[in-house]
């Protein structure tokens, strides 16, 4: 039997009594993330350094309990939920920006640094950090690394993996190692690339080397307003098809507008069927040319109006609506499940029409928010968990949408990860052989199924339609759980 009193005392000796939580009223805060999944950890520790993380991991290994790394808890797939109890290592005390190399445009930071805080810190040097999830005011970069987070500007600049150069990590035996480097090229296997997006199942990240970008000379943001969602969807393909790749193309439907406009007064017009938020940055001359080209493309898809914002205040007002949509959905329903599938841009009109049909058939409102430029859907199914059957129905709808995404040539996740919520759908995309190869990574990292167990791979409980027994047998016991 596990002696949790001994575990608590050992953890207190490492991080201090104030930073070990084990009372039920304290643990409740850590039982969920931004998803609908919930599970109480047994104990939470808040280490302040890589050395303390290492020592905490050794305690967990010695008592054979699972460990879940946690950032700000803004994830949307259940990745930070301690489904099997055990130890949660909350890394939110590790908030130091350790070094900024302005000449080489590299920063070394700890995992608890808030995404937006890094850009605010390096702006004094004319630099910024490009990946910008909608939760960037709250989410940590360590969490972004775990999920390989994207954001509105990933269309032009890529997701987290495109901006992380190296990682300091703690392995399951407590050893501390550095993978990757401080430049874009280095010899050997790309362990950095394997660990980014592994959802905390292979190692604990304790330092991150990120590349920074120069602030652009000019930035303009366009708001294109459409009566019909189909016209807005078609305009997205029209822009990309014209050879234009803006910094961002975001889309919101009428449900999103109805929720967010009264909350933040971003200037989105009442009665619109959809809006596109398009941002262009770069040299002043090229920005002017691209803006004119985008306006011309959008004009051919029956817009009600096209507005352009150039000064920072006006641009921030437009973006405040986009960044505030998910929080504002609470004005329409107590709960939502956000689906993170990605589809080919050319199928947006079809897919959004089918999502509308699903909403009409089931009676559940679905708010459509998209990183439209790269086809990353964020349909949010609105429901009330207090009503019997509502949560189960919303999850069924989410599964139907994910199946449709894969059917049209898309993928299960654009940026939020698999976690708990999408694991039963993995067989839609991957064969037994695919998942065997992926599952064998855990034994290769000698995790002993200790780090974030029960995530990503199907456990079998919900996979009756596609048997994974052969892959599990070949990969070895415990590879999927």
Give residue 478's pLDDT: 39
Q: What is the pLDDT of residues 16-50, one digit of tens each?
A: 999 999 999 999 999 999 899 999 999 999 999 99
What residues does 170 pair with on adjacent strands? 176, 204
Give residue 262's pLDDT: 93
- Lowest-pLDDT range, 122-136, 261-275, 287-301? 261-275
How many C-beta atoms surround the C-beta of residue 353 within 10 A? Answer: 13
Q: What is the pLDDT of residues 190-243, one digit of tens each?
A: 999 999 999 999 999 999 999 999 999 999 999 999 999 999 999 999 999 999
Structure tokens that stand for 423 in this block: 């694991």
Give residue 436's pLDDT: 87
Evaluate whether 355 touches 429 at the Cβ level (below 8 Å).
Answer: no
Q: Using alpha carbons only, what angle is made at residue 422 by residues 143 and 61, rounded to the nearest 5 degrees?
A: 55
Distance CA 116, CA 131 (A): 10
Distance CA 127, CA 247 (A): 16
Evaluate whether 178 touches 203 at the Cβ level (below 8 Å).
Answer: no
As a CATH number, domain 97-214 is 3.30.465.10
Give residue 237's pLDDT: 93
Distance CA 474, CA 433 (A): 9
Label residue 467 by pLDDT band (50, 70, 90). very low
Give residue 273's pLDDT: 95
3 state DSSP class of 289: helix
Give residue 113's pLDDT: 98
Label residue 473 by pLDDT band (50, 70, 90). very low
3 state DSSP class of 335: strand
Question: Kind and range of the H or E element at 429?
Answer: helix 426-429
For 68-92, b/e burial (b = at least 16 CB within 10 A) is bbbbbbbbbbbbbbbbbbbbbbbbb
The alpha helices in 64-197, defined as continuous H runs, are: 115-122, 141-147, 154-157, 191-195
Q: What is the mean pLDDT of the chain?
A: 92
Q: Domain residues of the chain, as ranges? A: 4-90, 97-214, 423-475
Q: What is the pLDDT of residues 279-330, one digit of tens each?
A: 999 999 999 999 999 999 999 999 999 999 988 999 999 999 998 999 999 9
Evaluate whether 414 touches 131 at the Cβ level (below 8 Å).
Answer: no
Q: What kind of fold does domain 4-90 have according to CATH?
A: 3.30.43
Q: What is the pLDDT of residues 390-403, one digit of tens each?
A: 999 999 999 999 99
What does each C-alpha distance from 217 to 118, 124, 308 come to in angstroms?
20, 15, 17
Overall average pLDDT of the 332-352 stretch = 95
Tell me the percentage of the chain whose pLDDT exceeds 70.
95
Label residue 464 by pLDDT band (50, 70, 90). very low
Give residue 481's pLDDT: 32
DSSP-assigned letter for residue 152: T
């Amino acid at each position: 039997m596990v002696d949790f009193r001994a575990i608590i005392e050992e953890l207190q000796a490492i991080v201090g009594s104030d930073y070990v939580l084990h009372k039920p009223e304290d643990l409740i805060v850590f039982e969920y993330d931004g998803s609908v999944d919930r599970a109480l950890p047994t104990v939470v520790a808040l280490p302040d350094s890589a050395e303390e993380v290492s020592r905490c991991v050794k305690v967990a290994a010695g008592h054979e309990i699972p460990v879940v790394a946690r950032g700000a808890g803004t994830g949307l797939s259940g990745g930070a939920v301690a489904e099997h109890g055990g130890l949660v290592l909350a890394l939110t005390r590790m908030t130091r920006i350790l070094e900024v190399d302005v000449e080489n445009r590299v920063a070394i930071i700890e995992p608890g640094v808030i995404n937006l805080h890094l850009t605010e810190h390096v702006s004094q040097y004319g630099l910024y950090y490009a990946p910008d999830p909608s939760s960037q005011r709250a989410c940590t970069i360590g969490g972004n690394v775990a999920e390989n987070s994207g954001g509105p500007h990933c269309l032009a600049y890529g997701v987290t993996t495109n901006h992380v150069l190296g990682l300091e990590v703690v392995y399951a035996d407590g050893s501390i190692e550095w993978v990757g480097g401080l430049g874009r090229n280095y010899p050997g296997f790309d362990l950095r690339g394997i660990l980014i997006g592994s959802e905390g199942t292979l190692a604990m990240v304790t330092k991150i080397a990120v590349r920074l970008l120069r602030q652009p000379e000019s930035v303009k943001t366009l708001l294109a307003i459409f009566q019909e969602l189909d016209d807005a969807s078609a305009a997205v393909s029209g822009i990309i098809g014209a050879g234009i790749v803006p910094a961002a193309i975001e889309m919101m439907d009428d449900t999103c507008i109805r929720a967010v406009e009264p909350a933040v007064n971003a200037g989105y017009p009442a009665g619109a069927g959809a809006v596109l938020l398009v941002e262009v940055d770069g040299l002043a001359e090229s920005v002017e040319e691209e803006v004119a080209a985008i306006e011309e493309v959008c004009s051919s898809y029956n817009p009600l109006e096209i507005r352009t914002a150039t000064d920072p205040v006006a641009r921030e007002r437009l973006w405040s609506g986009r960044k505030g949509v998910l929080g504002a959905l609470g004005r329409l329903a107590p709960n939502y499940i956000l689906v993170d599938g990605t589809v080919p841009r050319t199928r947006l009109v079809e897919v959004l029409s089918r999502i509308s049909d699903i909403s009409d058939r089931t009676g559940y409102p679905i708010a459509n928010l998209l990183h439209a430029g790269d086809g990353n859907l964020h349909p949010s199914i609105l429901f009330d968990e207090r009503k019997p059957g509502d949560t189960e129905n919303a999850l069924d709808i989410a599964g139907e949408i994910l199946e449709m995404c894969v059917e049209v040539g898309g993928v299960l996740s654009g940026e939020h990860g698999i976690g708990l919520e999408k694991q039963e759908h993995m067989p839609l995309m991957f064969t037994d052989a695919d998942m065997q190869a992926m599952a064998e990574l855990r034994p290769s990292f000698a995790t002993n199924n200790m780090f974030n167990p029960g995530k990503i791979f199907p456990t079998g409980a919900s996979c009756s339609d596609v048997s994974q027994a052969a892959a599990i047998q070949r990969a070895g016991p415990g590879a999927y759980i």
